[in-house]
């Protein structure tokens, strides 16, 4: 297939590109910069004055939208929250314009999303059937993002919303910051320790995206998380065990709020999320357990 990826050079996008190339697909990456073609990857300029990527794309079988400012970078000031929100809305608007401009429409759009759409809770278990949504910054951002992307359904395009959990990798996402205290022999429970961490290995995220592109039975929201989420206390102890470092210095909630501000919600609050739709469609996780994921990443 010919697959167009927005955000194909990012933390998750690079893995998705590699997986799809391994499967023999042709890749077009939408980029803000001029880049030369690399093997079976073509770069097409977008979001620039005068750029008309639809002319260079011609036609495509699938679109993947991973574009947007990372929620892990910087403090969540009012300005940064606006960047996080606007970057997703603006990129999706342009992607929709491109899709509707194509004479031959793609069969599927896989749009990034996040489990932040669910309210934080220590007791509730969320699946794709859950219809309770958070009314905070992340919840509103994700809800608006999904609603905007869903407009392609009017053209008969299958649409999948990949609700990412906490993506684990060594070169991006939240994990490097979570691991740093342990490397300094200062790791410990963050906050109450009872908050849930619904995590997923970055390799399984990439495989899951490739899976839903090819699986015509999958549509709508898909929880992209490991089937075995853990509470923060267990998560920290497992990091310590894998790195052979102590888990002993607790980090109180007020300290995290002082350092991170509103962004502290990413580690002080959480959701217990299960990937029922992936499991029902026989997707197999390479790293289903936290121990296997962290061992792969750090040993």
Percent share of the chain, pLDDT over 90: 93
- Provide mean pLDDT across the span 202-218: 98
- Provide mean pLDDT across the span 14-33: 96
Distance between CA atoms of 71 and 215, rounded to whole angstroms? 29
Query: Quick one: pLDDT at residue 73?
Result: 86
- Residues 299 and 242: beta-carbon distance below 8 Å: yes
Tell me how crowded residue 38 is: count the other CB atoms within 10 A of its CB: 12
- Provide mean pLDDT across the span 30-44: 91
pTM: 0.96
Query: Quick one: pLDDT at residue 131?
Result: 95
Distance between CA atoms of 86 and 177, rounded to whole angstroms? 25
| 2-6 and 26-31 beta bridge pairing | parallel
Query: Quick one: pLDDT at residue 299?
Result: 85
Query: Quick one: pLDDT at residue 35?
Result: 87
Give the closest residue to 112 by CA, choosing from 13, 20, 41. Answer: 13
Distance between CA atoms of 147 and 109, rounded to whole angstroms? 13
pLDDT in tens, 103-145: 999 999 999 999 999 999 999 999 999 999 999 999 999 999 9
Set out the domains of the chain in order of their start, with CATH numbers. Answer: 2-298 (3.40.50.720)
Distance between CA atoms of 69 and 197, rounded to whole angstroms? 22
Give the closest residue to 163 by CA, choosing from 194, 123, 130. Answer: 130
What backbone phi and psi angles, to 5 degrees, belong to 22?
Answer: -60, -30
């Amino acid at each position: 297939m010919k697959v167009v990826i927005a955000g194909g050079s990012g933390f998750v996008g690079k893995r998705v590109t590699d997986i799809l190339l391994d499967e023999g697909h042709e890749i077009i990456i939408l980029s803000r910069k001029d880049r030369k073609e690399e093997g079976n990857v073509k770069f097409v300029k977008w979001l620039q004055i005068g750029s008309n990527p639809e002319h260079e794309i011609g036609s495509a079988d699938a679109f993947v939208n991973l574009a947007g400012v990372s929620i892990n970078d910087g403090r969540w000031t009012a300005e940064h929250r606006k960047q996080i929100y606007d970057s997703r809305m603006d990129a999706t608007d342009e992607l929709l314009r491109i899709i509707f401009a194509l004479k031959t429409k793609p069969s599927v759009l896989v749009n990034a999303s996040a489990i932040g759409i669910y309210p934080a809770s220590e007791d509730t278990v969320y699946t794709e059937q859950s219809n309770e949504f958070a009314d905070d910054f992340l919840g509103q951002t994700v809800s608006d993002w999904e609603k905007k992307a869903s407009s392609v359904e009017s053209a008969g395009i299958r649409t999948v919303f990949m609700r990412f959990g906490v993506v684990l990798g060594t070169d991006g996402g939240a994990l490097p910051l979570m691991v740093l205290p342990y490397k300094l022999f200062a790791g410990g429970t963050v906050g109450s320790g009872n908050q849930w961490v619904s995590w997923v290995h970055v390799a399984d995220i990439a495989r899951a995206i490739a899976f839903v592109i090819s699986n015509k039975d999958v549509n709508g929201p898909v929880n992209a998380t490991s089937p075995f989420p853990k509470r923060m206390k267990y998560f920290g102890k497992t990091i310590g065990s894998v790195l052979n470092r102590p888990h002993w210095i607790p980090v109180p909630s007020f300290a995290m709020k002082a350092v991170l501000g509103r962004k502290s919600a990413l580690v002080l609050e959480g959701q217990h999320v299960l990937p029922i739709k992936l499991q029902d469609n026989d997707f197999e996780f390479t790293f289903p357990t936290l121990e296997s994921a962290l061992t792969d990443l750090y040993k």
